[in-house]
Amino acid sequence: MKENNFSKKSFISIDELTQSELTQIIKKARMMKNLEKQGKRYELNEALKNKRLASLFYEPSTRTRTSFETAMVELGGNLLGFAGTEGTSVMKNESILATVMMYWANHADAVVMRHPKDGAVRWASDVLGIPVINGGDGKNEHPTQALLDLVTIDEITPGINGTKIGFGGDLAHGRTVRSNAIALSKYDNITINWAAAQEFAMPNDLIEFLKNKGVKVNQYDTVEEVMKNSDIYYMTRPQKERIKDKTPQQVNEIMQKYRITLDKLTANPNIRILHPLPVDSSTAEIDTDVFFSKNQYFFAQAENGIFLRKALLYEILNGTESTTFNPNIEQIVANNREYLQSKEYNKGELLLDRIEHGIVIDHIPDGLAHTIDETLGFSKRGYKIMTLANAESSSLQQKGMLKITGATLTEREYKQIVEICPNVTFNIIKDWNVAEKFKYHLCQNDNCVTRVINEDVPPRFEEDGRCHYCGRK
C-alpha cells in the first residue's frame, strides 16, 4: 500500500501541515465528495475494514463527532467511545491518560478526541501508540474544522490564494478562527478583516503570528465594513461555556452590534457567509432569516466535513497494520526546571536552621508558607517544618522560607506549590548541602491541560519558550 504523509500520524495542530499536504488532503476530500455526488457513497467500504476509531468527546459536539462516525462507517470501519463523559469513569476522576489508554487496549486503531482543556489532545497523542486526531481542544485548535473550511473556501472562490476573509463573533475564546487563520496563513496574499467586541477581540499572539507570516490583518468597527472588504464572512458564536465573568444575557447584549442580519448583507450582496456551527439560537449571531438567503454557505460547509473526515481517516489508516496495545508506557518527563547556581554554605553559617536532608522552599511571599503547608499537609504527615523570614532580608521585605526535613516532592506537589506562589525557588538538600536549586515554571495559560493538577501532565516547553501542549508563550 502506498505510504503517504498522513499514514499512522497524529493530527493535532493545523500548523503541522505544509501547503502541499493541505492540497493533498483537500484533493482527497474533493474525491470523496465526487463519489457521493455520483451515488457511490460506499465505494470505499473495504478501505478501513476491521479498523476501529475511538471517538472520545469530553465536550458537546454534533457535526465533528457525527461526521467522523459517518466517515468511519462509510469506509467500512467501526467505532467505540463516548459522547459526553457521563456514563464513563471520568465521573470517578479517571485521568485523561488512564482513560485514553483503555481505548487503545480496546483495539482502537486511532482516536478522535475533543476536550475543554488546551493541549489535552496533544497529551493523549504523546502517551498513546496510535494516531490521535484533534477534534477541538479548549480555545486552542480545531484543525479538521480548518481543513473543511479550506475545502469550502477552495470551492466557493477562484482559489485559496488571494482570499479576503472577514472574521466575526467571538474571536477570543473560539478555536475555529485560530486554526482557520493559521491554515490560510500558509497561502499567498491573504487578507483577514475582523470586527468584534473588545471582550471578543482576536488574540494578540494570533495577530502577531499572522503578520509574521505575511497575512494582512485589518481591524474594523462594524460588520458592514468587514463585509465590504471581504469575499467571505466567517462568523462564530460566543463561547458562553468559556466566558465565566458574564451572564448569557450580558453576552447577548455585547454581541448585538455584531450579529449578521439581512440588512447588513446589503453592504456586500455577494458575501458568502460561513460559520463552523452551531449558531447559538439565543444570541442568534446569525439571524434565522439569513439561513434562507443565497449568502448562506454554512450547511454546505458542514457537509464538507464528512468528505474531509473520510479523506483524513483514509489517509491515516488505509493499508496500515493494527498496533498492539503496550501497557508499559514510557514516562514523559517535564523540562520546566530552571536550574540556578547555589551558593556554597560555610560551615557554621545559619547553623541553627540548617537541615541534613529535605527541601527548602525560598522566596515565599508573606503569609503563604502556611498556605503551602495547609495545602500539602507536610506537618500533618509528620515532617518537621520550619518557617522563617530569611535572616538576610530586612523585616520589611520578608522572604518567607519553608524548610521541610526529610521530604522529597512529587511533580504534583511542585505544581501545587507553584500554583500558590509562582516565584519560589526549590533547594534540594542532601548531606547539609544544596544539591539542586531551581525554579519550577508553569505554562502561563490557565486553561492549559498542564495546569490541571489531577491530570499530572508534566509541563514541557519548546526551545522558543512555547508550551509543548497549548502552544502559548
Residues at the contact surface with ligand NCD, assessed by CB under 6 A: 63-64, 136, 142, 145, 174-176, 236-237, 276-277
Beta carbon nearer to ligand NCD, 67 or 427 = 67
Q: Min. distance of Cβ 419 from ligand NCD in angstroms?
A: 28
Q: Min. distance of Cβ 42 from ligand NCD in angstroms?
A: 25
Beta carbon nearer to ligand NCD, 174 or 400 = 174
CA 390 to chain centre: 41
* Cβ atoms 223, 234 nearer than 8 A: no
CA distance 170 to 18: 27
198-236 burial: b if 16+ Cβ within 10 Å, else e: ebbebeeebbebbeeeebebeebeebbbbbeebbbbbbb
Q: How many CB atoms lie within 10 A of CB 309?
A: 30
Q: Min. distance of Cβ 66 from ligand NCD in angstroms?
A: 10
Q: Min. distance of Cβ 458 from ligand NCD in angstroms?
A: 27
Q: Min. distance of Cβ 305 from ligand NCD in angstroms?
A: 7
Beta carbon nearer to ligand NCD, 244 or 347 = 244
Q: Min. distance of Cβ 148 from ligand NCD in angstroms?
A: 9
Q: Min. distance of Cβ 280 from ligand NCD in angstroms?
A: 8
* Cβ atoms 96, 115 nearer than 8 A: yes
Which residue sits closest to ligand NCD, CB atoms considered?
Answer: 276
Q: Min. distance of Cβ 54 from ligand NCD in angstroms?
A: 18
DSSP assignments along 400-432, one per residue: EEEEEET----HHHHHHHHHH-TT-EEEEEETT
CA distance 241 to 243: 6
Beta carbon nearer to ligand NCD, 236 or 318 = 236
Beta carbon nearer to ligand NCD, 57 or 440 = 57
Q: Min. distance of Cβ 108 from ligand NCD in angstroms?
A: 21
Beta carbon nearer to ligand NCD, 77 or 136 = 136
Q: What is the dihedral of CA 62, 68, 73, 75, to 10 degrees?
A: 150
Beta carbon nearer to ligand NCD, 176 or 252 = 176
- How far CA 346 is from CA of 40, 194, 215, 339, in Å, comes to 82, 62, 59, 21
Beta carbon nearer to ligand NCD, 53 or 401 = 53
E strand or H helix that includes residue 79: strand 78-83
Give the type of residue at 301.
Answer: Q
Beta carbon nearer to ligand NCD, 304 or 425 = 304
Q: How many CB atoms lie within 10 A of CB 166?
A: 27
- How far CA 99 is from CA of 118, 124, 172, 247, 447, in Å, comes to 17, 9, 30, 33, 20
Q: How many CB atoms lie within 10 A of CB 139?
A: 22
* Cβ atoms 458, 334 nearer than 8 A: yes
